[in-house]
Structure 1
Amino acid sequence: MNKPGIPKNLLLATAAMLACAATQAQMTPVGNWHSMDEKTGELKSLIVIADKGGVLNGHIEKLLRKETDPKGVCKECRDDRKDKPMLGLEIIRGAKQVEGKEVWESGKILNPKNGKEYTLRMTPIEGGKKLEVRGSIAFFVRTQTWVRVQ
């Protein structure tokens, strides 16, 4: 139903722009993600990635494995995160978008199990429904696919 005084084509154009903006907003790592065990497919954790001035950081919001101690700490961490609680632990630091691409790099990702930090690359895939998370040290590369939580 068209409102008086508002041209129909303006309403359609506005609706189309809003739909595009909603789609584009999903093509970012910012948001809530489930990490999964590659071997079993079991959910491991809920990760929240936030943008602070164009720099992305992410932390563990919730531990989802049954056998995981919710009061556990990062015993293997070697920096300021040593002995910090796993809940709230910042595992992604300093990722920035590559100019002109839907790729975020230049950051680090922490594996709390071994305390090692890896060079990070994150790429939204499947229209932003999934996130390809790649960590690397020298020639060793490991890629996980995280699933967006709505």
Structure 2
Amino acid sequence: MKHLSKSKLPQFAFAACLLLSSAVAWAATDTPVGTWQQVDDQTGKVKSIIQITDNNGELQGKVLQVLISETGPHPVCTKCEGDKKDQPIEGMTIMWGVHKDGDVWDGGKILDPKSGTVYKVKLSISNGGQKLDVHGYVGFSLLGRSQVWIRQQ
């Protein structure tokens, strides 16, 4: 391998970093893993910030911040059942058990803290990884409702 002169080394290092950062950016957009703005499907406003993580192939979603709440700052899940009952929504895991299945992620559950209802969930990426279709349903996936979440930069 030919040695790089000292004058070429900074250019090489810059090019290598650029290539590596491009690969990392691409890899980050082909999966739901990341931080998302939850957009209300009725008002179109960003209601909360959700972080999706991968725990050994299982995706989980946690509420990092509630931006809009009908009950004021730092709302609690009054309609939830079990260990989530009356717990703060910020910091709460609202999605769990989701696994990759071809071009979608499904098999898990998602909690709507407003109603306390737990739905089956299916996720799909669109717009070059910048949008996430979050489809919650009971029974068949044809029934239910969807929200589009926006990847937070």
- Distance, in Å, in 1 between the alignment partners of 2:106 and 2:150 is 19
Q: TM-score, normalised by structure 2?
A: 0.81
- Distance, in Å, in 1 between the alignment partners of 2:3 and 2:62 is 46
Aligned length: 143
> What is the Cα deviation at residue 17 of structure 1?
7.6
Q: Per the alignment, in what secondary structure is the counterpart of residue 44 of structure 2?
A: coil
Asked whether the 8 Å contact 1:75–1:83 carries over to 2, the reply is yes
> What is the Cα deviation at residue 45 of structure 1?
0.3
- Residue 137 of structure 1 is matched in structure 2 by 138
Q: Any unmatched runs of 5+ in structure 2?
A: 6-14
Q: Any unmatched runs of 5+ in structure 1?
A: 6-11
Give CA deviations for 1:28-78 in whole Å, capped at 9, x if unaligned. 111100011222211100001111111111111011116552332111111
> What is the Cα deviation at residue 138 of structure 1?
2.1
> Is 1:62 the counterpart of 2:72 in the alignment?
no
- Residue 26 of structure 2 is matched in structure 1 by 23
Q: Per the alignment, in what secondary structure is the counterpart of residue 4 of structure 2?
A: coil
- Residue 36 of structure 1 is matched in structure 2 by 39
- Distance, in Å, in 1 between the alignment partners of 2:32 and 2:18 is 25
Judged with a 3 Å threshold, the aligned counterparts in structure 2 of structure 1 residues 17 and 46 are, in CA distance, closer, same or farther, namely closer
| RMSD of equivalent CA atoms | 2.6
Asked whether the 8 Å contact 1:28–1:102 carries over to 2, the reply is no
Q: TM-score, normalised by structure 1?
A: 0.82
- Residue 10 of structure 2 is matched in structure 1 by none
- Distance, in Å, in 2 between the alignment partners of 1:3 and 1:141 is 61
Q: Per the alignment, in what secondary structure is the counterpart of residue 77 of structure 1?
A: coil
Q: Per the alignment, in what secondary structure is the counterpart of residue 127 of structure 1?
A: helix
